[in-house]
Amino acid sequence: MTVNVNNVQVISKDGQAKGLGDYSGKVLLIVNVASQCGFTKQYKGLQALQDNYGPSGFEVLGFPCNDFGAQEPGNLSEIQNFCQSNYGVTFELFEKVHAMGQTTEPYKTLNQTEPAGDVAWNFEKFLISKEGIVIGRYKSNIEPESSELKLAIEKALQS
């Protein structure tokens, strides 16, 4: 099943609804993030991807999520401060979401991506084409700077 995110509405850091279709023409990496997780160090790699591929039309979008082991207890301001001071994060962070169970967007839509089902843990990644189509789903153990993910990003940027 082809999953398109262009009609998905999310809540931006200023509390306003924002459509993922606003990013049309850019390759996106959507990630559910958490500040107290064993994978939290991936923030560094995510920022490196943003720095490396951002000028070519790539955006990392971070969605804080407290669904897994209550590892993201803070509010968005606390999360942003943590990410900036510890990892130099400049990519966009959104309001907290639910990625499993009673999901909220963007995960109501993203979890339909094959293999369909709820996100399994923090730092699961979804690669979105310039046209808004989900073209890849990567489990938490796939590091942001893995050759598998970087090659997929590069291919998507060339399309």
Position 149 in a domain: yes
pLDDT value of position 36: 96
pLDDT of residue 1: 75
Long-range contacts of 137-145 (CB under 8 A, 24+ apart): 137/110, 137/113, 140/39, 141/39, 143/42, 143/45, 144/29, 144/42, 144/45, 144/46, 144/48, 144/49, 145/45, 145/48, 145/49
In a domain, 2, yes or no: no
Q: Is residue 3 part of a domain?
A: no
Give the domain extent around 87: 9-158
Please give the pLDDT value at position 102: 87
Please check whether residue 4 lies inside any domain of the structure. Answer: no
Task: Note the pLDDT tens digit of each residue in 65-124.
Answer: 999 999 999 999 999 999 999 999 999 999 999 999 889 999 999 999 988 899 999 999
Quote the number of domains for the chain. 1
Q: Residues 20, 132: contact at Cβ < 8 Å?
A: yes
Residues 6+ apart with CB under 8 A from 56: 157
**Are the C-beta atoms of residues 27 and 157 closer than 8 Å to each other?**
yes
- Measured CA to CA, the distance from residue 5 to residue 49 in angstroms comes to 21
65 counts as catalytic: no
Cα 64 to chain centroid, rounded: 9
Which CATH number covers residue 81?
3.40.30.10
Mean pLDDT within 2-12: 95
Both tokens of 107, joined, read: 């995960």
Report which of 55, 42, 30 is spatially closest to residue 83, judged by C-alpha positions. 42
Is residue 49 in some structural domain?
yes
Averaged pLDDT for residues 140-145: 97
Classify residue 1: in a domain, yes or no. Answer: no
Q: What would the pLDDT profile of 14-29 be if each residue is shown by its tens digit?
A: 999 999 999 999 999 9
Calpha distance 128→137 (Å, rounded): 9
In a domain, residue 16? The reply is yes
Given the residues 27, 30, 31, 37, the one annotated as active site: 37
